[in-house]
């Protein structure tokens, strides 16, 4: 009887031990509480690193000068102070500048995406004698620093008279030499390589030409690659200040360019009792200007995040 009770106790102990082990570590080591805790802790930590600057900017942009100087006010402002945004809108000349920024960003990004799709499809589907050499040259354009080719490009653009206009961004995009065009060509090349050729062969048997196959079969199936290429291109053109300041000069401007000279513009506007009554700039006004500059990108991402994540997942941009 004692031996039987001991066996039952050992069996119960083993059962609860296995159940506890399964609960903590799961059946395959990936679905237990311990693994979930580690994964969520990493995600929260990484997310905080990325979100901290946005939280900091959002908090300070809504603080009055008294809140900024008060050490007891840390993250939550005592009052919702919107005057910082009113002054930042005035300094940035927001609506006209936003229109120019959208113009010099969306148009080159769209053209670059179309050209990258055509070039990527050509490399993926056609064989010609110097294909490998040309493909290597395309990749070399990404490896070579843009500072190396900046002066020759500036001289060339000056000779053909396109400095100070959006054509200084559009012309390189038309020839597959836009900002990081090589990456987008490689994305489309990889994507079109994964598409089954049987679909195109069936279309050829029905009498479809290469142009029709590209427009009616390849492009509709390349939706994820198109989305990821356009969004990345849009963001890179939006944030480009180095080339924009050189090529546009004083003829055109963008929100990031205006943000660079935000302090100087604010001081110039408030000299001698001008708008703002000669007030001095503070951290809250600077953060409001920064938030207004990145706000359009945040809105675009929030609207397109579903397609953006799907595009990254299907195009293989993170893993190839």
**Threshold 0.95, pTM exceeds:** no
Q: What is the pLDDT of residue 51?
A: 87
Element (H, E) at 151: helix 146-160
pLDDT for 145: 80
Q: Are residues 111 and 71 in the same domain?
A: no
CA 233, 236, 241, 242 torsion-angle sign: negative
Query: Total domain count for the chain?
Result: 2
How many degrees, rounded to 5, is the angle at CA 115 between CA 110 and CA 120? 125
Asked if 100 and 121 sit in the same domain, the reply is yes
> Exposed/middle/buried for 129, CB within 10 Å: 0-12, 13-18, 19+?
exposed
Condensed to tens digits (0 to 9), the pLDDT of residues 17-42 reads 566 566 555 565 556 666 777 778 88
179 has pLDDT over 70? yes
- pLDDT of 274 reads 44
Q: Which among 36, 54, 83 is the end of a domain?
A: 83
Residue 244 lies in a domain: yes
Residue 141 sits in a domain whose CATH number is 1.10.3720.10
Structure tokens of 134? 């040309």
Q: What is the pLDDT of residue 319?
A: 41
Answer whether residue 271 is part of any domain. no
Tell whether 220 and 201 lie within a shared domain: yes
Q: Is residue 231 part of a domain?
A: yes
pLDDT digits (tens, 9 = 90+) for 116-172: 999 999 888 888 888 888 888 888 888 888 778 888 899 999 999 999 899 999 999
| Domain limit, last residue, from 83, 102, 130 | 83
**How many C-alpha atoms does 291 have within 13 Å on its Cβ side?**
23
Tell me, yes or no, whether 174 and 99 share the same domain: yes
25 and 104 inside one domain: no
CA gyration radius for the chain? 28
Pick the residue with more confidence: 11 or 218?
218
- pLDDT on residue 313: 60
100 and 210, same structural domain? Answer: yes
Domain residues for 75?
A: 19-83
Question: Final residue of a domain: which of 260, 276, 299?
Answer: 260
CA torsion 31-37-41-44 (nearest 10°) is 70
- Looking at the fold, whether 55 and 31 belong to one and the same domain comes out as yes
pLDDT digits (tens, 9 = 90+) for 61-111: 998 888 888 888 888 888 888 899 999 999 999 999 999 999 999 999 999
Mean pLDDT of the chain: 82
CA atoms within 13 A on the CB side of 295: 15
Close Cβ partners of 306 (under 8 Å, ≥ 6 residues apart): none
Helices (H) and strands (E) in the chain, counts: 17, 0
Q: Would you say residue 201 lies in a domain? A: yes
In a domain, 71, yes or no: yes
Residue 234 lies in a domain: yes
* DSSP letter (8 states) at residue 250: T
One domain, residues 77 and 98: no
């Amino acid at each position: 009887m004692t031996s039987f009770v001991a066996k039952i106790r050992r069996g119960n102990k083993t059962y609860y031990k296995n159940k506890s082990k399964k609960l903590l570590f799961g059946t395959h080591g990936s679905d237990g509480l311990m693994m979930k805790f580690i994964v969520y802790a990493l995600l929260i930590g990484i997310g905080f690193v990325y979100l901290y600057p946005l939280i900091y900017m959002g908090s300070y942009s809504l603080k009055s000068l008294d809140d900024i100087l008060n050490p007891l006010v840390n993250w939550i402002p005592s009052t919702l102070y919107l005057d910082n945004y009113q002054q930042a809108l005035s300094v940035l000349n927001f609506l006209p500048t936003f229109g120019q920024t959208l113009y010099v960003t969306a148009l080159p990004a769209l053209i670059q995406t179309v050209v990258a799709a055509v070039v990527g499809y050509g490399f993926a589907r056609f064989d010609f004698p110097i294909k490998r050499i040309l493909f290597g040259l395309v990749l070399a354009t990404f490896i070579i620093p843009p500072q190396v080719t900046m002066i020759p490009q500036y001289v060339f653009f000056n000779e053909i008279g396109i400095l100070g206009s959006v054509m200084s961004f559009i012309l390189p995009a038309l020839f597959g030499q836009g900002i990081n065009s090589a990456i987008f060509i490689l994305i489309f090349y990889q994507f079109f390589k994964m598409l089954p050729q049987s679909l195109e062969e069936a279309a050829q048997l029905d009498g479809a030409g290469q142009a029709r196959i590209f427009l009616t079969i390849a492009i509709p199936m390349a939706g994820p690659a198109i989305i990821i290429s356009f969004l990345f291109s849009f963001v890179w053109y939006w944030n480009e200040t180095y080339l924009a300041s050189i090529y546009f000069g004083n003829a055109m401007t963008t929100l990031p360019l205006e943000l660079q000279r935000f302090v100087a513009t604010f001081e110039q506007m408030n000299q001698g009792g001008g708008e703002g009554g000669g007030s001095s700039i503070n951290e809250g006004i600077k953060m409001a200007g920064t938030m207004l500059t990145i706000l359009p990108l945040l809105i675009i991402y929030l609207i397109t995040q579903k397609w953006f994540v799907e595009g990254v997942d299907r195009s293989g941009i993170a893993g190839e």
